[in-house]
Amino acid sequence: QLQLQESGPGLVKSSETLSLTCSVSGGSISSNSRYWGWIRQAPGKGLEWIASVFFSGNTHYSPSLRGRVTMSVDTSKNQFSLRVTSVTAADTAVYYCARRSTYCNRDTCFDFDIWGQGTTVTVSS
Protein backbone atom coordinates (compact mmCIF):
# COMPACT_ATOMS: atom_id res chain seq x y z
CA GLN A 1 0.00 0.00 0.00
CA LEU A 2 1.45 3.32 -1.07
CA GLN A 3 2.40 5.70 1.71
CA LEU A 4 3.75 9.26 1.81
CA GLN A 5 5.96 10.73 4.53
CA GLU A 6 6.94 14.39 4.83
CA SER A 7 10.21 15.50 6.37
CA GLY A 8 11.87 18.82 7.02
CA PRO A 9 12.82 21.37 9.68
CA GLY A 10 10.09 22.26 12.13
CA LEU A 11 11.44 25.78 12.54
CA VAL A 12 12.61 28.23 9.88
CA LYS A 13 13.74 31.82 10.36
CA SER A 14 11.94 34.62 8.61
CA SER A 15 13.38 35.55 5.17
CA GLU A 16 15.13 32.17 4.86
CA THR A 17 14.28 29.23 2.60
CA LEU A 18 12.05 26.34 3.65
CA SER A 19 12.85 22.92 2.20
CA LEU A 20 10.58 19.90 2.56
CA THR A 21 10.81 16.36 1.20
CA CYS A 22 8.11 13.76 0.65
CA SER A 23 9.23 10.12 0.55
CA VAL A 24 7.07 7.67 -1.36
CA SER A 25 6.98 4.03 -0.23
CA GLY A 26 5.00 1.03 -1.42
CA GLY A 27 4.93 2.26 -5.00
CA SER A 28 6.88 4.13 -7.66
CA ILE A 29 6.89 7.88 -8.10
CA SER A 30 7.52 7.26 -11.82
CA SER A 31 3.90 6.66 -12.71
CA ASN A 32 2.26 7.98 -15.87
CA SER A 33 -1.03 8.25 -14.06
CA ARG A 34 -0.08 10.34 -11.07
CA TYR A 35 1.02 13.84 -10.14
CA TRP A 36 2.52 14.55 -6.71
CA GLY A 37 1.52 17.64 -4.79
CA TRP A 38 1.97 19.85 -1.76
CA ILE A 39 -0.92 21.33 0.20
CA ARG A 40 -0.64 23.43 3.33
CA GLN A 41 -2.93 24.47 6.16
CA ALA A 42 -2.21 27.51 8.31
CA PRO A 43 -3.30 27.29 11.97
CA GLY A 44 -7.09 27.37 12.17
CA LYS A 45 -7.39 27.89 8.41
CA GLY A 46 -8.40 25.87 5.36
CA LEU A 47 -6.47 23.83 2.83
CA GLU A 48 -4.33 25.65 0.28
CA TRP A 49 -2.95 23.89 -2.79
CA ILE A 50 0.67 24.93 -3.41
CA ALA A 51 1.99 22.96 -6.38
CA SER A 52 2.10 19.64 -8.22
CA VAL A 53 4.87 17.79 -10.08
CA PHE A 54 5.02 14.90 -12.58
CA PHE A 55 7.87 12.39 -12.43
CA SER A 56 9.29 13.96 -15.62
CA GLY A 57 9.73 17.22 -13.73
CA ASN A 58 6.74 19.03 -15.24
CA THR A 59 5.34 21.34 -12.57
CA HIS A 60 2.29 23.49 -11.87
CA TYR A 61 2.22 26.22 -9.23
CA SER A 62 -0.47 28.15 -7.43
CA PRO A 63 -0.57 31.71 -8.82
CA SER A 64 -0.52 33.08 -5.28
CA LEU A 65 2.83 31.46 -4.52
CA ARG A 66 4.42 31.30 -7.97
CA GLY A 67 7.84 32.95 -7.87
CA ARG A 68 8.60 31.81 -4.32
CA VAL A 69 8.07 28.07 -4.64
CA THR A 70 9.89 25.34 -6.53
CA MET A 71 9.03 21.67 -6.73
CA SER A 72 11.41 18.96 -7.86
CA VAL A 73 11.42 15.18 -8.12
CA ASP A 74 14.17 12.61 -7.51
CA THR A 75 13.09 9.34 -9.09
CA SER A 76 16.23 7.53 -7.88
CA LYS A 77 15.19 8.18 -4.28
CA ASN A 78 11.44 7.97 -4.93
CA GLN A 79 11.06 11.43 -3.42
CA PHE A 80 9.80 14.85 -4.36
CA SER A 81 10.57 18.17 -2.72
CA LEU A 82 9.32 21.69 -2.12
CA ARG A 83 11.31 24.87 -1.63
CA VAL A 84 9.74 28.11 -0.44
CA THR A 85 11.97 31.18 -0.45
CA SER A 86 11.76 34.38 1.61
CA VAL A 87 9.41 32.86 4.16
CA THR A 88 7.34 34.98 6.53
CA ALA A 89 5.00 34.22 9.42
CA ALA A 90 2.26 33.69 6.83
CA ASP A 91 4.07 30.53 5.70
CA THR A 92 3.61 28.94 9.13
CA ALA A 93 1.45 25.88 8.49
CA VAL A 94 1.10 22.13 8.42
CA TYR A 95 2.46 21.00 5.05
CA TYR A 96 1.00 17.88 3.47
CA CYS A 97 2.22 15.94 0.47
CA ALA A 98 -0.36 14.03 -1.55
CA ARG A 99 -0.91 12.00 -4.71
CA ARG A 100 -3.21 13.17 -7.49
CA SER A 101 -4.51 11.29 -10.50
CA THR A 102 -3.86 12.64 -14.00
CA TYR A 103 -7.16 11.56 -15.52
CA CYS A 104 -10.81 11.10 -14.81
CA ASN A 105 -12.69 7.81 -14.98
CA ARG A 106 -14.94 5.76 -12.72
CA ASP A 107 -12.08 5.07 -10.28
CA THR A 108 -10.47 8.49 -9.90
CA CYS A 109 -10.88 12.05 -11.10
CA PHE A 110 -7.99 14.48 -10.53
CA ASP A 111 -8.48 14.01 -6.79
CA PHE A 112 -5.87 13.79 -4.02
CA ASP A 113 -6.44 10.22 -2.91
CA ILE A 114 -3.41 9.54 -0.70
CA TRP A 115 -1.99 12.00 1.81
CA GLY A 116 0.99 12.09 4.14
CA GLN A 117 0.43 12.73 7.84
CA GLY A 118 1.70 16.30 7.52
CA THR A 119 4.65 18.16 8.97
CA THR A 120 4.39 21.35 11.01
CA VAL A 121 6.53 24.30 9.96
CA THR A 122 6.85 27.41 12.11
CA VAL A 123 8.48 30.57 10.81
CA SER A 124 10.19 32.52 13.56
CA SER A 125 11.36 36.10 13.55
Partner 1 sequence: QSALTQPASVSGSPGQSITIPCSGTSSDVGNFNYVSWYQQHPGKAPNLIIYGVTNRPSGVSNRFSGSKSGNTASLTISGLQAEDEADYYCGSYFASTALSVFGTGTKVTVL
- Would you say 85 and 67 are in contact if contact means Cβ atoms under 8 Å apart? no
Per-residue binder mask for partner 1 (CB under 8 A), 28-57, x = binder? ---------x-x------xxxx--x-----
Cβ-based neighbours of 91, under 8 Å, separated by 6 or more:
12, 18, 84, 121, 123
Contacts (CB under 8 A) with partner 1, residues 80-99: 96
Q: How far is the CB of 125 from partner 1 (least distance, A)?
A: 26
**22, 69, 100, 121: which one binds partner 1 (CB under 8 A):** 100
| CA distance linking residue 100 with residue 112, whole number of Å | 4
Spatial CA neighbour of 55 closest among 37, 67, 40: 37
Measured from the CB atom, the residue of 16 and 115 that comes closer to partner 1 is 115
For partner 1, the binding residues (CB under 8 A) are 37, 39, 46-49, 52, 60, 62-63, 96, 100, 104, 106, 108-113, 115-118
